[in-house]
Amino acid sequence: MEFELLIAIVLLALSGGGCDLGAQELGHCISGSISGDNVTLDGSYTSPGDNGNKSDDAWSEGSTVNVDGGDNDGDPNTFCMDRVGELICWSVTPPAEAGVAPVTLADIAQFRPEVGTRAMEPSGWTTVGLPTNFVSAASVHSVDGTLLGGPASVRFTPVAWHWDYGDGSQATLASGGRLWRELGGTEFSPTPTSHAFTRTGTYSVALTIEFRTEYRVGSAGWTSIAGTLPVTAEPLEVTVVRATTVLVDEACPDRPHLSGCR
């Protein structure tokens, strides 16, 4: 509709808002209307030629001009009319259609997000059946670079943490978690991001962080990019042991050589 409105404005300028008496007497009174992809010219036009290449044709009532350009040098947005013996052409650029941002995840491959530090408590080992606290410090951050031919920034926002504990168990969490001291908890206390292993052994714990992305060029506002970007962090190695309790008949300060006191 906006493109048709532009064409209508051009035709209105041609007719001057209506034909005056002089134009009617000269036989060059042209008015127009739009139907589909064509402009329909009403009135009479007796000057020869319709596009500068023909000498015998004349416009008459009901003639049409193809808005797609006809043979006007192949420009799909140009059409021409011979007015009072002079070829007049208009070039109309249709307005850009609004749509999805032209940037995709593939376009920002050179912008590398930071996964931040990750840790486990206790560090490097744990005990069968007791909660082990896994923590990731990934946070919202921006990376600068070049995009669309100009300076740009890409903002990464973590939205999901995918943990694979290496023992057949996985979890998808909504946060990276916090250390026991930050939560006010004691060692081996359960947390929203803890996991308890059921067997002894050495396990490789993998973490994949899912980022939502946005970009901006120059000082423009942030524009979202469709989809999310998964980024894998270095795995954590954890050794799981079994704890046993040894009863002694005296206190360790008194008998430090006893089993369980060393």
Q: Are residues 149 and 234 in the same domain?
A: yes
User: If you average pLDDT over each of 52-61, 99-108, 176-185, which comes out highest?
Assistant: 176-185
Could you give the number of structural domains in the chain? Answer: 2
- 201 in a structural domain: yes
Res. 180: pLDDT tops 90: yes
Looking at the structure, do residues 225 and 109 belong to the same domain, yes or no?
A: yes
Q: What pLDDT was estimated at residue 187?
A: 93
- Domain shared by 119 and 195, yes or no: yes
Whether residue 63 sits in one domain with residue 133: no
With respect to residue 261, please indicate whether it lies within any of the assigned structural domains.
no
For the chain, the average pLDDT equals 75
For residues 65 and 111, membership in a common domain is answered with: no
173 in any annotated domain: yes
Domain containing 199 equals: 105-241
For the cut 70, the answer to whether the pLDDT of residue 30 exceeds it is no
**pLDDT tier for residue 219 given thresholds of 50, 70 and 90:** confident
For the stretch 169-178, pLDDT in tens is 999 999 999 9
Reply yes or no on whether the pLDDT at 196 is more than 80.
yes
Do 68 and 131 lie in a common domain? no
* Mean per-residue pLDDT, 49-57: 41
* Residue 106 amino acid letter: A
pLDDT band at 250 (very low <50, low <70, confident <90, very high): low
